[in-house]
Structure 1
């Protein structure tokens, strides 16, 4: 009886793994198609990932404000949330072309969702005058790390109120990172956030990852990230991370 139960459990686990692998394989193929499409359209695509409330939307709002006089950094945004259009509405209020994806109960975006949103933006001419596309992923440090969206670069945000212990707690997410933004950096001292611990933990996973400290009231800190992204595009940098 016990052997039969164990065999059934093993079979179930095997089937589950097979299904997951098929889903991810299908997503990877679609992501590759999307990357080719981005390149054809001359767009450099940034996958922005973090936990909920870390400041992704605020970062994009501030980036838009600081880039208002810069004709070489026009961008659009695909927003991912379970419900409501609030974040997309915030960005539109700043003059950014944004499209909201509502995932329902899904804790991540996938390449098929991005394809639909991309074609919507393209058909509405929202991508005509921009050179960059940000994908603001669903706020979660787990699920988005498993789904390739075909982006050229993956940037992860970690806010100081979340704590300095997250890098090794959620290694799959931080292994994705081509750059790390420490957001709400003006609150480091208030939360006892140990920046050196974050640097050390990240180096254990992945060496040479640039780290940016930003806050919404420090425009220079936002512009440093913008300069980094522009340079990545100019160099033809494409993330080599395997999801």
Structure 2
């Protein structure tokens, strides 16, 4: 007899994800699940987002890492309420992990919660954390093959972001090719490109965040 344990586990986690979603909805908090491979720039993006939106929105972060609190400490230096989850080898966050840390937040005062997932283009894609949107970051030095090689991740994203475009003159990356690859895999996904180092394109990201906040939370 064959027992499909994966299906049972995901069913249980989806129940927890829905409970998380109810908490976010009740407190009118927009939740963004940010995913990428290691080093694509997730933490730097959140730092720069806080600098641009911190006066208008109260931002909090759940920081996922295998070990250390180094990224969380960077965000705390900016005054961002950041709670660390260390998976000690796990390659993704799941809804139960997120649920356990939610009591550490005062959601009545949080406008946007970012969940910075573990750096991985495979494992995080299949798990619902209760978020409103999934954002995937791909950095230009990673090359154009990542979207077609990891289709499950990019098929489930609401927004695909190309970071480190300040390096385009020095690396082999074609933005138009990336757009075409994404459109074939996920025609409904939005696409943007920016550099968290120079600030180029950051206004499009900030505008997107404001738009989805007012669509989902406060019209």
Once residues 72 and 27 of structure 2 are traced to their aligned partners in structure 1, the CA distance between those partners, rounded to angstroms, is 23
Q: CA deviation at 1:210?
A: 1.8
Q: CA deviation at 1:223?
A: 2.8
Greater Rg, structure 1 or structure 2?
A: 1
How do residues 57-136 of structure 1 correspond to structure 2 at under 5 angstroms? Answer: 57-68=43-54, 70-71=55-56, 73-122=57-106, 127-136=107-116
Count of matched residue positions in the alignment of Structure 1 and Structure 2: 217
Which deviations, in whole Å up to 9, do the C-alpha atoms of 1:36-82 show, x marking residues without a partner?
110101100000000111000000011111224x32x2210000001
CA RMSD for the aligned pairs? 1.5
Is the aligned partner of 1:31 residue 2:11?
Answer: no
Residue 68 of structure 2 contacts residue 86 of structure 2 at CA under 8 Å; is this kept in 1? yes
Q: Unaligned regions of 5+ residues in structure 2, if any?
A: none
Secondary structure at the aligned position of 1:219 is classed as coil
Once residues 195 and 222 of structure 1 are traced to their aligned partners in structure 2, the CA distance between those partners, rounded to angstroms, is 16
Is the aligned partner of 1:172 residue 2:158?
Answer: no
Once residues 197 and 39 of structure 2 are traced to their aligned partners in structure 1, the CA distance between those partners, rounded to angstroms, is 17
Is the aligned partner of 1:213 residue 2:193?
Answer: yes
Once residues 192 and 102 of structure 1 are traced to their aligned partners in structure 2, the CA distance between those partners, rounded to angstroms, is 34
Q: CA deviation at 1:216?
A: 1.8
Question: Aligned residue for 2:206?
Answer: 226
* TM-score, reference length from structure 2: 0.94
Residue 66 of structure 1 contacts residue 223 of structure 1 at CA under 8 Å; is this kept in 2? no
Q: Unaligned regions of 5+ residues in structure 1, if any?
A: 1-10, 238-243
Secondary structure at the aligned position of 2:187 is classed as coil
Q: Which has the higher helix share?
A: 1
Question: Aligned residue for 1:6?
Answer: none
